[in-house]
Every structure is written in structure tokens, then in C-alpha cells.
Amino acid sequence: MKSKTGMLTRMVLAAAAIVFFAGNASISPLPEGFKALMNYPNPFDSRLESTTILFNLESDSAVSARIYDLFGNIVRDYNFGMISRGPNRLIWDGTNEAGDKVSKGGYICVMQITGDQVKVVASRKIGVIH
């Protein structure tokens, strides 16, 4: 029996590969210029609140984010273009592209940050409860 953590890791990597497969893009450890990706509250009740996804940029960067369900389906797609350096946040209200509330369960936020010569793919697990 395979562990749930191992399966989730493979799913995150597969989702990141699907979203960001282009040229020499690769998944790598977070570079010095990018501080950890986190969110709060986690888990969150999408009927009552939103979750805030925090990230810090040390230089102006192009940022995009996708939220996936655990089957690898895209739930929400954000493309912000260039964002100024410093602390930033994305607020997700637990809705899909159609504006409908998602089901309770696990979701994965995959964020792509492209700076001057740095390309970062980072992911964060998000729980939705009802």
C-alpha cells in the first residue's frame, strides 16, 4: 500500500509539470529570493471565510497561480502578470472558475513566479471543510 504523502507528492509534481511544461522549466527548491508560500486559515470553511495565500517577492516578478483538486483538475486559475517586490497575498474564497463553492476536501495551489533570471514553482496544500 502506497503512502498518502507519497501519492500527494506525485500528484503535485504531475500537476506542476502539466501547468508549467515549457522549455527548460523545472521544479527546484525555493531560491533565496523567494520566501515560503503559506496560507491561513488552513483548513478553512468556504461557507464562512476565505483563505489568504501569502508569498514574498524580493524583486518584481510575473506571478500566476492555479488551484487544483486532488484529481488534478483545475479549479481556479489566476494570472497576475507583474507584481511588485515585497509581501503579497492571494485571497481564495473557495470558489471555482464558475463562481460555485468547491466541495470539501483537499486542494493544491501551484504558484509560478518568474523574475529576472529565476523561475520558481511552489505548491501548498489547502483544506476546505464544511
Q: Could you tell me the CA-to-CA distances from 64 to 1, 98, 107 in Å, in that order?
A: 35, 19, 16
For 116, which DSSP code? S
pLDDT of the residue at 56: 85
What is the gyration radius of the CA atoms in the chain, in angstroms? Answer: 14
pLDDT of the residue at 91: 95
Q: Is 106 helix (H, G, I), strand (E, B) or coil?
A: strand
- pLDDT tens for the chain, residues 1 to 130: 445 555 544 544 444 433 333 333 334 445 555 566 889 999 999 999 999 999 888 888 999 999 999 999 999 999 999 998 888 999 999 999 999 999 999 999 999 988 876 677 888 999 999 8
Report the alpha-carbon distance of residue 22 to residue 116 in Å, rounded.
Answer: 17
Domain ranges of the chain: 4-129
Residue with cell 511552489: 122
Q: Which fold has domain 4-129?
A: Immunoglobulin-like (2.60.40)
- The pLDDT tens digits of the residues spanning 82-97 come to 998 888 999 999 999 9
